[in-house]
């Protein structure tokens, strides 16, 4: 049976595949409930992103394209910027950007993007995507799922390794009204997905109980193996996530 990655499935959602390739995926989903569920989740995320950030053609785009075309060969720095933008908005990152769109535009969430220096109070990430909220970093570094939320409503949920062998953890930040997925890379927790979250008053459940759909989709796309049980989670924490 052919295995389809998320990029190929997203191209099916966007209608970018040939009729033959699209028909092959449709036939495969009819026989594979798990594949069908992945395709449905990606369609829902694409719809969410489009509703959150409606796109309309801007007549200025054509003029800008002409200016770019007339400007001559791109410099090395321009090429690097283009490659970074292409990578950031590629289909494999659709889960992250759909979650961010939902959080920022649907719920009116304000996220801090830091260029340097110490993190301000509340949920913040730096320009590289690394989480810069000192309180949340402490929770991701040290807190166990069984510990529940801290005084500011920060908690962790699922813990697992992704296909790149990075440690990843879902989290919620009650004070900032967000939930997300972060993976550890170069001793930092890098944001992978983010969505609005609001825990009901008096709710004593852990962060794994109410994970928003965009974050669950990100987990499904990233996870390699099983989530950790309490003993394995404690062992990974005590080993410093090495």
Q: How many helices (H) and strands (E) does the chain have?
A: 9, 6
CA distances from 194 to 49, 99, 182 (A): 12, 5, 9
Output the pLDDT for position 75: 52
- In DSSP notation, 123-177 reads SEEETTSBB--HHHHHHHHH--GGG---TTSEEEEEEEEBTTS-EEEEEEETTTT
CA distances from 111 to 48, 108, 132, 230 (A): 19, 10, 11, 31
Output the pLDDT for position 139: 95
Output the pLDDT for position 43: 78
Tokens in use for 181? 């997925």
Output the pLDDT for position 234: 96
Tokens in use for 79? 């090429």
Residues 73 and 104: their CA atoms lie apart, in Å, by 36
Domain ranges of the chain: 94-238
Output the pLDDT for position 46: 67
Residues 104 and 196: their CA atoms lie apart, in Å, by 8
Output the pLDDT for position 56: 55
pLDDT digits (tens, 9 = 90+) for 218-242: 888 889 988 999 999 999 999 999 8
Output the pLDDT for position 114: 42
Low-confidence ranges of the chain (pLDDT < 70): 1, 45-122, 199-210
Residues 141 and 131: their CA atoms lie apart, in Å, by 12
What is this structure's pTM? 0.55
Output the pLDDT for position 38: 80
Residues 71 and 205: their CA atoms lie apart, in Å, by 57
Output the pLDDT for position 59: 59
């Amino acid at each position: 049976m052919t295995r389809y990655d998320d990029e190929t499935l997203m191209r099916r959602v966007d209608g970018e595949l040939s009729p033959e390739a699209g028909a092959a995926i449709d036939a495969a989903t009819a026989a594979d409930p798990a594949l069908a569920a992945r395709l449905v989740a990606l369609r829902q995320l694409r719809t969410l992103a489009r509703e959150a950030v409606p796109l309309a053609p801007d007549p200025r785009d054509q003029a800008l394209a002409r200016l770019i075309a007339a400007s001559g060969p791109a410099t090395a720095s321009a090429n690097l910027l283009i490659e970074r933008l292409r990578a950031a908005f590629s289909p494999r990152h659709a889960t992250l950007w759909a979650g961010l769109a939902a959080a920022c535009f649907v719920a009116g969430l304000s996220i801090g993007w830091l260029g340097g220096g110490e993190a301000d109070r509340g949920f913040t990430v730096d320009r590289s995507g690394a989480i810069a909220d000192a309180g949340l970093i402490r929770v991701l570094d040290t807190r166990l799922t069984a510990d529940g939320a801290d005084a500011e409503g920060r908690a962790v949920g699922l813990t697992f390794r992704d296909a790149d062998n990075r440690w990843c953890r879902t989290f919620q930040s009650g004070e900032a009204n967000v939930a997300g997925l972060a993976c550890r890379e170069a001793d930092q927790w890098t944001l992978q997905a983010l969505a609005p979250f609001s825990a009901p008053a008096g709710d004593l459940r852990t962060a794994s109980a109410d994970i928003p759909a965009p974050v669950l989709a990100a987990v499904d796309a990233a996870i390699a193996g099983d989530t950790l049980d309490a003993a394995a989670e404690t062992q990974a924490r005590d080993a410093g996530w090495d």
